[in-house]
Amino acid sequence: MSTVKSPAVSPLKDYIKTNDKRFLDELLELLRIPSVSADSKYKPDVLKMAEALKSKLVAAGADKVELVPTAGYPVVYGEKIIDPKLPTVLVYGHYDVQPADPLNLWTSPAFEPVVKDGKIYARGSCDDKGQMYMHVKAFESMLKTNDLSCNVKFMIEGEEEVGSANLGQFLKENKERLKGDVILISDTSILANDVPSIDVGLRGLCYMEVEVTGPNRDLHSGVYGGAVANPINILCEMIASMKDKNNHITIPGFYDDVLQLSKEDRADLAKTPFNIENYKKDLDINDIHGEAGFSTIERTGTRPTLDVNGIWGGYTGEGAKTVLPSKASAKISMRLVPNQSSEKTAELFTNYFNSIAPNSVKIKVTTHHGGEPVLTPTDSVAFKAASKAMEETFGKKPIPTRGGGSIPIVALFEKILGLKSVLMGFGLDTDAIHSPNEHFGLFNYYKGIETIPLFYKYYTEMSKK
Ligand code: BES
Ligand code: MN
Ligand code: MN
């Protein structure tokens, strides 16, 4: 695919090639462990996954490998300090995965990985076991071929998919152990296999749950219908009123802190290769939908959202039951952009939601986990090293892009450890993360393993200047 002539095979490249089958088999082994952090039924499996990863780090040659306990699942830690005078790269990733539901939509079982058409199908294949494990195998390869050019510390957590609630505390308690120069993360996407990119921003998250209560019990919808508030109807009206006809969010003050895009920002984003027809075709939609006045790239990367993630109440079983329900609920998430804050947004939401409720219902609003949005620098040594590494392996300079997803801990790395992150991801947006049939290309897995050592090399070289 690449037109760049590959340089003479190096011992490192040779090592990766010789061991590629084993590198894949080991990942498949990890993918068989259903480490779903959201569901306590999987607790033994999440712990088993932490143990398995610990063994893999030891086998790869890391020192001081241990499971560091937290109030939740342990952090898998390991390091290799070759020379304290050299820079230290902290690798972050997560070993937990999203629930696999809906199970019936998987073409092969979520935790029985298969390789089909050059892709690994399994929950966590891309997010984030596959991407995290590229780092372990790149590390092993560098170590075995005497190619490791700086110090490495691994910090792989097991609660990312449930909001990393205990990781901030872990950072505070382990500041000394986590001393380093930069955080390296592969948990994002590239634009396409022939269009490399590096995310330079992530959205934040504010996740709310609302409950609307009408009468004190479910009622006969004929006897009482039309005379008593139906909480599902009311909830739907309330949710609908939170956006206007331009899909602007109507919560007062919601946009106050939103960093406006400059003309240059918009011009840069407009250059992002993006094919709207392919996008619609992939999702099987007739048209896109979003905030007026912004492109799709701008909408996902630079604008906040308000989305219902789940809604329930009343009768949803077989047949028809005439009922005026007592309660209705919804889970509502807001993706945030710089410089919005999740705490302030939760307060604005709560106040507004209460204010628009009619007197005929009672309201309960609760806040779930959140996270702050981030922008990462493009003028840093680390970004330049990542860019140079990807340019070499893809044969094209990566384009800086903004990721629409969230990795809440990135803002805390900056706040607590004072460290900036580089988001050198290798997935694709079409890898179906969090969805049925999640997959990760073998191309992407091996591209990651090949690119990561170059990041270390250039980061060390460029840090010296
Ligand atoms: N790896 C994703 C985040 C991501 C994906 C960022 C693609 C950019 C591009 C991460 O595992 C994730 O799913 N995060 C959650 C955070 C939440 C559970 C607190 C998210 O974004 O919903
Ligand atoms: Mn992830
Ligand atoms: Mn995820």
Higher pLDDT, 317 or 369: 317
Contacts of 239 (CB under 8 A, 6+ apart): 308, 311, 330, 332
pLDDT above 90: residue 464: no
Neighbour tally for 100: CB within 10 Å? 20
Q: What is the CA(110)–ligand 2 centre distance, in A?
A: 17
- Residue 269 resides in a domain: no
- Residue 31 resides in a domain: yes
- Residue 400 resides in a domain: yes
Tell me the C-alpha distance between 421 and 405, whole Å.
15
Query: What are 92-126's pLDDT values in tens digits?
Result: 999 999 999 999 999 999 999 999 999 999 999 99
Block residue for tokens 């340089």 = 7
Same domain, 193 and 51: yes
Query: What are 59-90's pLDDT values in tens digits?
Result: 999 999 999 999 999 999 999 999 999 999 99
Report the pLDDT value the prediction gives residue 347, as an integer from 0 to 100: 98
Q: What is the CA(9)–ligand 1 centre distance, in A?
A: 36
Same domain, 217 and 366: yes
Q: Which ligand 1 atom is the nearest neighbour of the CA of 164?
A: 19
Report the pLDDT value the prediction gives residue 3, as an integer from 0 to 100: 53
- Residue 276 resides in a domain: no
- Residue 451 resides in a domain: yes
Same domain, 194 and 246: no
Tokens coding 274? 């993006």
Q: Which of 371, 387, 413 lies at the terminal end of a domain, its last residue?
A: 371
Q: CA dihedral defined by 204, 206, 207, 212, rounded to 10 degrees?
A: -150
Neighbour tally for 377: CB within 10 Å? 13
pLDDT above 70: residue 322: yes
Q: Exposed, middle or buried: residue 378 (CB in 10 Å: 0-12, 13-18, 19+)?
A: exposed
pLDDT above 80: residue 465: no
Same domain, 400 and 311: no
Report the pLDDT value the prediction gives residue 8, as an integer from 0 to 100: 63
pLDDT above 90: residue 9: no
For the chain, the residue count is: 465
Please state, rounded to an integer, the average pLDDT across all residues of the chain. 96
Q: What is the CATH number of the domain that holds 99?
A: 3.40.630.10
Ligand 1 site, residue 196, Cβ cutoff 6 A: no
Same domain, 60 and 74: yes
Q: What is the CA(64)–ligand 1 centre distance, in A?
A: 29
Nearest protein CA to atom 7 of ligand 1, as residue = 188
Ligand 1 site, residue 127, Cβ cutoff 6 A: yes
Ligand 1 site, residue 189, Cβ cutoff 6 A: yes
- Residue 295 resides in a domain: no
* Res. 440 pLDDT band, cuts 50 70 90: very high
Q: CA dihedral defined by 354, 355, 360, 366, rounded to 10 degrees?
A: 0
Query: What are 403-423's pLDDT values in tens digits?
Result: 999 999 999 999 999 999 999
Query: What are 303-316's pLDDT values in tens digits?
Result: 999 999 999 999 99
Q: What is the CA(42)–ligand 3 centre distance, in A?
A: 17
Ligand 1 site, residue 205, Cβ cutoff 6 A: yes
Report the pLDDT value the prediction gives residue 54, as an integer from 0 to 100: 98
Q: What is the CA(116)–ligand 2 centre distance, in A?
A: 22
Ligand 1 site, residue 345, Cβ cutoff 6 A: no
- Residue 404 resides in a domain: yes
Query: What are 170-205's pLDDT values in tens digits?
Result: 999 999 999 999 999 999 999 999 999 999 999 999
Nearest protein CA to atom 9 of ligand 1, as residue = 188
Same domain, 155 and 210: no
Give me the amino acid identity at 141: S
Same domain, 117 and 210: no
% residues pLDDT > 70 (the chain): 98
Ligand 1 site, residue 408, Cβ cutoff 6 A: yes
- Residue ranges of the alpha helices (H) in 146-292? 167-173, 231-240, 263-270, 276-283
Ligand 1 site, residue 405, Cβ cutoff 6 A: yes
Judged by its nearest atom, the ligand closest to the C-alpha of residue 164 is 1
Provide the domain limits for residue 352: 204-258+304-371
Q: Which of 327, 353, 371 lies at the terminal end of a domain, its last residue?
A: 371
Same domain, 181 and 309: no
Query: What are 340-383's pLDDT values in tens digits?
Result: 999 999 999 999 999 999 999 999 999 998 999 999 999 999 99
Judged by its nearest atom, the ligand closest to the C-alpha of residue 405 is 1
* Res. 281 pLDDT band, cuts 50 70 90: very high
pTM: 0.94
* Res. 4 pLDDT band, cuts 50 70 90: low
Ligand 1 site, residue 389, Cβ cutoff 6 A: no
Q: What is the CA(430)–ligand 3 centre distance, in A?
A: 14
Ligand 1 site, residue 441, Cβ cutoff 6 A: no
Q: What is the CATH number of the domain that holds 240?
A: 3.30.70.360
Q: Which ligand 1 atom is the nearest neighbour of the CA of 403?
A: 8
- Please tell me whether residue 243 adopts helix, strand or coil conformation: strand
Same domain, 388 and 448: yes
Tell me the C-alpha distance between 88 and 184, whole Å.
10
Tell me the C-alpha distance between 388 and 97, whole Å.
31
Pairing mode of beta strands 75-80, 151-157: antiparallel
Nearest protein CA to atom 19 of ligand 1, as residue = 163
Report the pLDDT value the prediction gives residue 6, as an integer from 0 to 100: 56
Tokens coding 443? 């191309």
Q: Which ligand 1 atom is the nearest neighbour of the CA of 94?
A: 11
Report the pLDDT value the prediction gives residue 432, as an integer from 0 to 100: 97
Instruction: Tally the domains of the chain.
Output: 2
Ligand 1 site, residue 438, Cβ cutoff 6 A: no
Same domain, 323 and 408: no
Contact in structure between 11 and 147 (CB atoms under 8 Å): yes
Report the pLDDT value the prediction gives residue 376, as an integer from 0 to 100: 96
Same domain, 110 and 238: no
Same domain, 108 and 236: no
- Residue 296 resides in a domain: no
Ligand 1 site, residue 406, Cβ cutoff 6 A: yes
Query: What are 134-156's pLDDT values in tens digits?
Result: 999 999 999 999 999 999 999 99
Ligand 1 site, residue 188, Cβ cutoff 6 A: yes
Q: Which of 327, 350, 371 lies at the terminal end of a domain, its last residue?
A: 371
What letter would DSSP give residue 429? Answer: G
